[in-house]
Structure 1
Amino acid sequence: MNTHPFESVIVDTGENPKTCVIWLHGLGADGHDFEPIVPEMQLPPGKPVRFIFPHAPVRRVTINNGMPMRAWYDFRELAPGEGEDHGQVGEGVAAVQTLLAEARRHYDTVLLGGFSQGGAMALLTGLVEGPAPDAVFGLSTYLPDAAKAGLQLSPRAAGLPIFMGHGSFDPVIPPDFGRHTSQALRAMGVTLQWHEYPMPHSVCPDEIRDLSRWMGPLIQA
């Protein structure tokens, strides 16, 4: 029975995948946003993967003049650890953990990642107590404050493989947000790959190549 907390877009790269990648979109987008990336991923041949792209709930977002849009949580101001609706951050993590727990019942390996606000959710979910992925990737993002969201960082985060990529010219989530997050993650003992690219708030072919190379060894045949 499907107990997903979110409606999702599903893309399989082959039959009977043993690895699942849950990919969370950014603010105002939806699960279709990164669907076209799948064919561009340079993944190992003969190792099929199921990609799950959930749709975030529709809610009013303060920094966008209260307009309703898909968002994992409300932003009152873009200030990491300060401007988020911390209660909604905690609720979002719990919902993503439900998705992780279901994926665990069907796949040998579960990876979690996302872009921008979705990347923030992925990083935080991967680091706190509760159902967890085997590895995490965060693109053009930052780490929200776990304590303010009512969450407890988990000791198992030490050694967690994490990929981060950020644009040097990002005007939405400035690169310093990502750099500071990378420093905090290293202090936690995660196994971090940090990449910076000459791009704005987006993804680029070099980033997709590097993400594919990072992801490849994690995929089960």
Structure 2
Amino acid sequence: MLIAKPIALLIATVSSTVLFVLLSRPNQSPRPDSMARSFVLWLHGLGDSGPANQPIRTLFTSPEFNNTIWSFPSAPSNPVTCNYGAVMPSWFDIHEIPITANSPKDESGLLKAVKNVHKMIDEEIAAGTNPNNVFVCGFSQGGALTLASVLLYPKTLGGGAVFSGWLPFNSSIIQQITPEAKRTPILWSHGIADQTVLFEAGQAGPPFLEQAGVSCEFKAYPGLGHSISNDELKHLQSWIKTRLHSSS
């Protein structure tokens, strides 16, 4: 049954990520005084929760992340069409699984979720974080929301990282992307063996972003299904590090 499939996959993903993190933590390095405050917002997938993903932060042990504020919000509980209307944590509605490049889109629900993400970003910037040090990351449904959130945010952010995500909107949204948002870089990672969000859905991302004038680094992972791998998280750490701005 479809009801159990996405949740089971997401629980397996979180469990494997947590195990890797706990087994591979090196010692913390001294805090570098030159690094300004930064912010990483992590958006989980369908049926998951923010707290279940918090161990991801322990992987980011480079001293550049000692001044990083992490946020792992949980999606509200909503009925989900692909799971026969079952109520579960969901940022917006998903009509079918597997998700293909041509799957139906819940743009109205998506835009409501984007407003909530923008509120979190606004609050962090108001607290003193430079927008260039704000990074939004997400897995699966959270990856789709990440993409929409950074493209529709009116300022240039440090970056948006999409894992096993898809394009949750139609091409008409390009008209709403500001010149500042087009300067926000995108990292897109996708497993070739993904049977929940098909690889073709991920492959549709770079051409869309190129058409919109947005820079995107796309990385394909052979043999990887609908989960986050150790290599993806290691690359994310390096990708963010190269984009962090110092306080000087």
- Match for 2:137: what amino acid? G
Tell me if the contact between 1:166 and 1:195 (Cα under 8 Å) persists in the aligned partners: yes
Find the partner of 2:219 among 195, 199, 208: 195
Match of 1:66 in 2: 85
Going by fraction, where is strand more abundant, 1 or 2? 1
Report the alpha carbon displacement of residue 150 of structure 1 after superposing the two structures with TM. Answer: 11
Number of paired residues?
209
Q: Which 5+ residue runs of structure 2 have no aligned equivalent?
A: 1-27
Find the aligned partners of 1:197 and 1:217 in 2 and give their Cα distance. 22
Match of 1:95 in 2: 116
SS in 1 for 2:93: coil
Match of 1:178 in 2: 202
Going by fraction, where is helix more abundant, 1 or 2? 2
State how 1:18-33 maps to structure 2 within 5 Å.
18-33=37-52
1:121 aligns with 2:145: yes
Tell me if the contact between 2:101 and 2:204 (Cα under 8 Å) persists in the aligned partners: no
Report the RMSD for the aligned CA atoms in angstroms: 2.6
Q: Structure 1 residues 191, 83: CA separation in 2 closer, same or farther (over 3 Å shift)?
A: same
How many percent of aligned residue pairs carry the same amino acid?
29
Tell me if the contact between 1:93 and 1:124 (Cα under 8 Å) persists in the aligned partners: yes
- Match for 2:211: what amino acid? A
TM-score (normalised: structure 2)? 0.75
1:161 aligns with 2:185: yes
Report the alpha carbon displacement of residue 54 of structure 1 after superposing the two structures with TM. Answer: 0.7
Find the partner of 2:240 among 207, 215, 218: 215
Report the alpha carbon displacement of residue 131 of structure 1 after superposing the two structures with TM. Answer: 5.7
1:55 aligns with 2:74: yes
Q: Structure 1 residues 45, 85: CA separation in 2 closer, same or farther (over 3 Å shift)?
A: closer
TM-score (normalised: structure 1)? 0.84
State how 1:77-88 maps to structure 2 within 5 Å.
77=96, 78-80=99-101, 82-88=103-109
Find the aligned partners of 2:100 and 2:172 in 1 and give their Cα distance. 14
Find the aligned partners of 2:112 and 2:183 in 1 and give their Cα distance. 26
Tell me if the contact between 2:155 and 2:181 (Cα under 8 Å) persists in the aligned partners: no
Q: Structure 1 residues 151, 122: CA separation in 2 closer, same or farther (over 3 Å shift)?
A: farther
**1:14-54 per-position Cα deviation (integer Å, ceiling 9, x unaligned):** 89971011110001101023211111235344742111011
- Match for 1:189: what amino acid? G
Find the aligned partners of 1:150 and 1:186 in 2 and give their Cα distance. 11
Find the aligned partners of 2:65 and 2:205 in 1 and give their Cα distance. 35
1:105 aligns with 2:105: no
Q: Which 5+ residue runs of structure 1 have no aligned equivalent?
A: 1-12
Find the aligned partners of 1:50 and 1:190 in 2 and give their Cα distance. 26
- List structure 1 segments (4+ residues) > 4 angstroms apart after TM superposition: 13-17, 79-82, 146-151
Find the aligned partners of 1:36 and 1:195 in 2 and give their Cα distance. 23
Find the partner of 1:204 among 221, 229, 247: 229
